[in-house]
Structure 1
């Protein structure tokens, strides 16, 4: 697997109007922080499923919409998804539904998220029909716990299409990125949990030295699966974003991993907040040949940064060793 230095052309460019989402003090459910937004592109609109946190650090999922990738044209006053199951409830503080990652396959919109009861973060899965989503009928299916309730598991995302007839799922079981394959998502019924194999791990002495996790569902390209991932450095304890490319036919294989980040916390809204020194993405979308990467800044607000998609792919292609 080749490691390549980041050319300046591969750095994400921030929107100068960041942050695009901030907490609303009059909304109790999102008065402390809004961050880590899942992303869905549908009918030329980009829907942001963001994590809203109240003063007790309890999280729900809100919705905002943008037509140009930058400017918010709609933001709902109430959350579209709240904790319903025992494994995501905590009457004493931090908990709820965190860090959603969104994938649409056919007419079903899947949401993988962190279910937190104040003890162990776990992965939960729910879904909604495209029709109900567009009609704003929040008839979500009952959440299913798909990770071992006794083991911390986070950062889970579903590939946008099946791989060799199976659903492909990324998750972080320890400090590494894992992948699992399932023929039917209904197999997760309280008896079966995510497992699979680790495909990428932290790199000692580098910016991604402590732990890594998927940023959002990977994007299918002609060079393979483009995966934006986040990392925590064991040195300065900052969260950054990087890129790796998974083999298009066998995503257990990493065929390229850049050795420098594409985005790191530098600006005031990234260096302050609930968790200073953090840029953390749960999703991205391509609109008019621009790749928009949405990220939580300081665990408090939402920012967006972009790069020309065709330029990115061409640059990465030149680094991949055949």
Structure 2
């Protein structure tokens, strides 16, 4: 099992104005997806949270070697009239790309991205309340999916910053997800469809955005998405696959956190790398992936 980390410096820091606020700055929660069909020899696409003047917003950077990264900039969600709102007005996190081209809702070959908009504007405008889009009747944060046409992204990588055709993928459903859910690592193609690990949260989050004041518990679950329509959930776990159990998972910057963010095969064995109480990196073996 992989153990130990050798730090080699930073690849991105909050150097851009849109990554810095008056009293905060952040290049946070990075997740990378290797996309073989982008670029001449494939491209690593990093999503991260730019914690700037308007709170947490998704942003993208790309690399061919995992050492040198080029920012594509903030993600600008295309306006969608049937939502009766602009998703760019809201904080958004837990953003991750599929590694392969998939059909969009109209059957167009596309790159799909998962994200989690949050409707409580009190984070960035004290006194504001929740503003739900048309057709959304649950204010809890859930997983959404959006798309970028493959031909456009293959012609110009900056097209990845302009997703469209937004729709809800999954909302909290089971006890371990009662407060909110969010995507974990990039989805993995398995025989039955797309395997998505996600986190579910229970507990209480006070007003504002200070994770250290939260009284929550994060656990890991899984969903299986339809390969012909990845916005359709075929199955999901009703109980968590992993919950905070060890001392390192129970005590840290934010206690009681198991937060999966990467899946990697090492020497023929598949591992899940996950955050432990926002203080350490844990690793678990993922059995029977294929």
TM-score, with length taken from structure 2: 0.74
Work out the CA distance in 1 between the residues paired with 2:254 and 2:22. 23
SS of residue matched to 2:18: helix
Question: Structure 1 stretch 165-174 or stretch 78-87: which is displaced more?
Answer: 78-87
Work out the CA distance in 2 between the residues paired with 1:194 and 1:156. 14
Work out the CA distance in 1 between the residues paired with 2:52 and 2:148. 26
Work out the CA distance in 1 between the residues paired with 2:92 and 2:116. 6
SS of residue matched to 1:270: helix
The answer on 1:178 being equivalent to 2:117 is no
2:176 to 203, 207, 220: 207
Q: What does 1:105-120 correspond to in 2, within 5 Å?
A: 105-106=35-36, 107-117=42-52, 119-120=54-55
Q: Deviations over 1:116-141 (max 9, x none)?
A: 026411110111123xx3xx4x2423
Work out the CA distance in 2 between the residues paired with 1:72 and 1:295. 14
Give the total of aligned pairs: 233
Q: What does 1:225-304 correspond to in 2, within 5 Å?
A: 225-234=194-203, 237-304=216-283
Work out the CA distance in 1 between the residues paired with 2:11 and 2:58. 19
- Distance of aligned partners of 1:305 and 1:139 in 2 relative to their CA distance in 1, 3 Å threshold: closer
The answer on 1:219 being equivalent to 2:221 is no
The answer on 1:140 being equivalent to 2:140 is no
Aligned to 1:49: none
Q: Deviations over 1:136-192 (max 9, x none)?
A: 4x2423433335553011101010011132111011113111111111343366xx5
Note the aligned Cα RMSD (angstroms).
2.2
Work out the CA distance in 2 between the residues paired with 1:144 and 1:195. 18
Aligned residues of 2:99 and 2:186 also touching (Cα < 8 A) = yes
Aligned residues of 2:61 and 2:69 also touching (Cα < 8 A) = no
Work out the CA distance in 2 between the residues paired with 1:312 and 1:163. 20
Give 1:307 shift. 2.5
Aligned to 2:99: 160
Query: Taking CA–CA contacts closer than 8 Å with sequence separation of 6 or more, which of the two structures ends up with the larger relative contact order?
Result: 1
SS of residue matched to 1:237: strand
Aligned residues of 1:156 and 1:170 also touching (Cα < 8 A) = yes
SS of residue matched to 2:33: strand
* Consecutive unaligned residues in structure 2, runs of 5 or more: 37-41, 78-86, 104-108, 119-140, 205-214
Question: Structure 1 stretch 225-234 or stretch 78-87: which is displaced more?
Answer: 78-87
Give 1:72 shift. 3.2
Question: Structure 1 stretch 224-233 or stretch 289-298: which is displaced more?
Answer: 289-298
* Consecutive unaligned residues in structure 1, runs of 5 or more: 1-68, 314-322
1:98 to 16, 24, 28: 28
Aligned residues of 2:11 and 2:69 also touching (Cα < 8 A) = no
Work out the CA distance in 2 between the residues paired with 1:172 and 1:92. 24
SS of residue matched to 1:207: helix
Aligned to 2:131: none
TM-score, with length taken from structure 1: 0.67
The answer on 1:196 being equivalent to 2:166 is yes
